[in-house]
Amino acid sequence: MKENSAASHSSRQVGKCSADEVYLKILNCIGPVAGILVAVVPVAFALIPPPAQQLPIEAHLPMPARKIELEVARTPEQVAAGLRSRSSLPLDRGMLFVVSKPKPVKLWMKDVLVPLDIIFIRSGTVTSLVKNAPPCPRWKSCPIYDSVKPVSYVLELPAGSANRLGIQPGRKLDVKFTKARKRSCYEASRCALAASYTPLR
């Protein structure tokens, strides 16, 4: 009776060892794969471009040939996003970056997919510009463009705009900001209704 119990106990130990060995083998197989996934996933996320922002048209630049409509970036988040991830930019569109206090600024073309003309402005006058700044994918090292002098605005237009519109250092640019339009009672009521209604997604 005792011998049978010992044999049974020994059998359970052998079974347990076998299970442990199988578990270790599985870990040995999965471990490297998990390590690769942990290493690769952050890299994959780093290669995903950020979403493109679309800001309202709040200013325009009147030119002899055409009027350039401008999105206006004011907040740090809007300025940081800029024109990143835009696949195209019409000839009559651009983005105006507002500098809170006149100062030298530096910027780059990280994640920007289209070439741009970068125009630095102080008190309505072009201080300097960069023509045809090339796109810079996020996996490359991007050059930094320096205004050198203090500026109050930075204007980004499709590449070739400076030559086409005759924009050069010393040129006056009269940017017109759009005045806020008062909403009608009907529009206000619609906005209030929309604010109180949360659609299912």
Residues 150-183: pLDDT tens digits? 999 999 999 999 999 999 999 999 999 987 544 4
Q: Please choose, from the candidates 46, 49, 48, the residue with its C-alpha nearest in 3D space to the C-alpha of residue 84.
A: 49
pLDDT digits (tens, 9 = 90+) for 18-53: 555 655 554 454 454 444 444 444 444 445 667 888
**CATH class held by domain 57-177:** mainly beta
* Residue 104 pLDDT greater than 90, yes or no: yes
pLDDT digits (tens, 9 = 90+) for 107-141: 999 999 999 999 999 999 999 999 999 999 777 78
DSSP secondary structure letter of residue 110: B
Long-range residue pairs from 58-66, CB within 8 A, at least 24 positions apart, any chain: 58/177, 58/178, 59/96, 59/175, 59/176, 59/177, 59/178, 60/175, 60/176, 60/178, 61/94, 61/155, 61/173, 61/174, 61/175, 61/176, 62/174, 62/176, 63/165, 65/164, 65/165, 66/91, 66/92
pTM of this prediction exceeds 0.75: no
| Sequence ranges of the domains in the chain | 1-48, 57-177
pLDDT band at 65 (very low <50, low <70, confident <90, very high): confident
